[in-house]
Amino acid sequence: MNFSDLLEKAFNFQDYGLLLPLVTNSLIAGAALGIVGGLIGIFIMMRDMAFAVHGIAELSFAGAAFALLIGADVVTGSVFGSMIAALILGILGTRARDRNSITGVLMPFGLGLGILFLSLYEGRSANKFGLLTGQIVAVDDVQLNGMLLLSAVVVIALLLVWRPLTFASVDPVVANARGVRTSGLSIVFMMILALAVAVTIQVVGALLVLALLITPAAAAMRVTSNPVTTVVLSIVFAELAVVGGILLALAGSLPISPYVTTISFLIYVICRGIEAVRSPRRHQV
Amino acid sequence: MTQTPIVKFEDARLAFGSRVLWEQLDLSIAAGEFLAVLGPNGSGKTSFINTMLGTTALNHGRVSIAGEPVRRGSAAVGLIPQQRPFGDNVPLRARDLVALGVDGAKPGIRMARRAVRNKVDELLELVGASGYANRAVSDLSGGEQQRLRAAQALASDPRVLLCDEPLLSLDLNHQQAISEVIHRQAVERGSAVVFVTHEINPILPYVDRVLYLAEGRFHLGSVDEVMQSSVLTELYGAPVAVLRVNGRIVVVSGDGTRALPADGHDHIEDIELETGK
């Protein structure tokens, strides 16, 4: 394949108008996911949990693969998988050090289980790969409703605990003294995170969840420290990545994930650039 | 008839397993009083504070604040913890951090933005941090961050201000500024102050009484009563010399090889032990 073939495969807007209606459901799901990723990413960053998210994603993948194998609903399967991982991390990994090692132990185990279930599965092979690297080419109405419901639960739950969770995340000692139930909140947050991961996997796959759950918030934090602006930018970046990614993917014959992750990455690079131009001092430490 | 004490310990005992940190502690701290708590690492200084925060329970006896049993999250108590740097991933400005001290324990998102904003401006002014109100927390120095923690602690105009090594690793300028803020709260607002430290000199002008914890025992009294060779020698059960040099107090062990209490850099051990409960 030469470069122009690749371009042809990646960007081809010929039948765009015809294809667009086919992905309406995916776009709606993607938009919901953008809000989820933009919001929860801020807390993942504050709590320094990027690695734990990856661990949860692998167990979520195992759950989804198991559901596929036994013919159950894949979203339900991944919710179960990530809930189990989140509970283990929430209960055992209260300190960052422990959490990292537990995540390191869980991750390959989850991935291994998932691969086992997938190799036993005899259905369409596209489904297999999709769980790892993303799939929503066609989201049906039932799936869409499930994803919207999960997204709504995540967003509402986050709003309900927003202020104390922020306090507990940035300054646990003082928050605890102020009467914030920091350990209870951390379990609650793990549950919310588990749901968010389970939804995200449906769109970008287990290996790429960080592109939507971390990168937008990380990018926003590079350019602002105003909490409200951070929220707005983080959501905008996540929407650009996921909705933009789906729209671009339509023009080619490649899966959507590379588009989503590339946009997300470029936004981050641009934000770092802006930060470096604005305050070169910060990087000298 | 004297005023009700702000903090009152009655026959209090705290032990972890078989290790007794202190027992038979009877202590009343009056409004406006500044109590310094000294002692080596692991002597239960941080735990002493935690019993007043309601995060550590006494094994025996009682502690009350303003006549009420200790309750976690009480507005009558403010905490200025040891300085720990905030990471890079904190999307907050100085004012947002102080705002968390005002209403951070309440659920949901902030609705009363204007009221909180006014309160935060007031608090920033009080600790001399107005100049960097809109700067990112992660860009501030340790001393600047510590002023914000002082502002957080003052948010509820607490009856007792608990300070856990708040000056550790700060430069002299910030040490003075923060001790002054704490002193002013005691004098002007009548708050009781409990100030845990391994280094009494920066706060020497403000201290009314000293509680010295060591080896499962304690000694309580004025600075001159407690900071004496004979008293500390008895507490430690080993020769200790207290020297006064240019208005500063220096405590050294009998052979003169180490200062007591050991300086607080391995204080972490203390914290882990005491929050491990």
Instruction: Give CA–CA dist B204/B70, Å, rounded.
Output: 29
To test the contact with chain A by mutation, choose from B100, B268, B270 the residue with the greatest count of A C-beta atoms within 10 A, namely B100
Q: Where are the domains of chain A?
A: 20-207
B-chain residues within 8 Å CB-CB of A175?
A: 100, 104-105
CB hemisphere CA count around A100 (13 angstroms) = 5
In this predicted structure, the answer to whether residue A284 has a pLDDT above a threshold of 80 is: no
Chain B touched by A98 (CB under 8 Å): no
Helix (H, G, I), strand (E, B) or coil at A257: helix
To test the contact with chain A by mutation, choose from B92, B93, B163, B272 the residue with the greatest count of A C-beta atoms within 10 A, namely B92
In this structure, which CATH number among 1.10.3470.10, 3.20.20.140, 1.10.10.60, 3.90.1150.10 belongs to the domain A20-207? 1.10.3470.10
Q: What are phi and psi of B193, to 5 degrees?
A: -125, 130
Give me the pLDDT at residue B274, please: 37
Write out pLDDT tens, residues B203-232: 999 999 999 999 888 999 999 999 999 999
Instruction: Give CA–CA dist A82/A58, Å, rounded.
Output: 8
Write out pLDDT tens, residues A71-116: 888 888 999 999 999 999 888 876 777 888 889 998 999 999 999 9
Give me the pLDDT at residue A117, please: 92
Instruction: Give CA–CA dist B106/B96, Å, rounded.
Output: 15
The sheet that has B192-196: what strands, in order across it? Answer: B77-80, B160-164, B192-196, B34-38, B209-214, B217-221
Nearest to B81 among A167, A174, A220 (CB): A174
DSSP code of A18?
H
Nearest-Cα distance to chain A for B79, in Å, is: 7
DSSP code of B215?
T
Write out pLDDT tens, residues A30-55: 999 999 999 999 999 999 898 999 99
CB within 8 Å of B187: residues ≥ 6 apart: B32
* C-alpha separations of A218 from A56, A267, A272, B22, B89 in Å: 19, 10, 10, 47, 8
What confidence tier does A280 reach under pLDDT thresholds 50, 70, 90? low
Could you tell me which of B103, B136, B129 has the C-alpha nearest to residue B117? B103
Chain A touched by B84 (CB under 8 Å): yes
Chain B touched by A173 (CB under 8 Å): yes
**First and final CA of chain B: distance in angstroms?**
40
Other CB atoms closer than 10 Å to residue B71's CB: what's the count?
A: 14
Nearest to A230 among B91, B135, B153 (CB): B91
Residue holding tokens 């020769």? B239
Return residues 143-172 of A near B (CB < 8 Å): 159-164, 166-167, 170-171
Q: What are phi and psi of A179, to 5 degrees?
A: 100, 5
A-chain residues within 8 Å CB-CB of B81?
A: 173-174, 177
In this predicted structure, the answer to whether residue B265 has a pLDDT above a threshold of 80 is: no
Nearest to A170 among B55, B72, B92 (CB): B92
Other CB atoms closer than 10 Å to residue B185's CB: what's the count?
A: 23
ipTM computed for the complex: 0.87
How large a percentage of chain B has pLDDT more than 90?
68
In this predicted structure, the answer to whether residue B262 has a pLDDT above a threshold of 60 is: no
- For the segment B252-262, the average pLDDT, to the nearest whole number, is 64
Instruction: Give CA–CA dist A13/B194, Å, rounded.
Output: 71
Chain B touched by A278 (CB under 8 Å): no
- For the segment B251-257, the average pLDDT, to the nearest whole number, is 72
Other CB atoms closer than 10 Å to residue A63's CB: what's the count?
A: 30
Residue holding tokens 């899966």? A255
Chain B touched by A125 (CB under 8 Å): no
Q: Which amino acid is at B33?
A: E
Nearest-Cα distance to chain B for A244, in Å, is: 26
**In terms of CATH architecture, what is B7-83+156-275?**
3-Layer(aba) Sandwich (3.40)
Write out pLDDT tens, residues A215-232: 999 999 999 999 999 999
CB within 8 Å of B66: residues ≥ 6 apart: B4, B6, B76, B159, B160
Give me the pLDDT at residue A23, please: 79
Chain A touched by B145 (CB under 8 Å): no
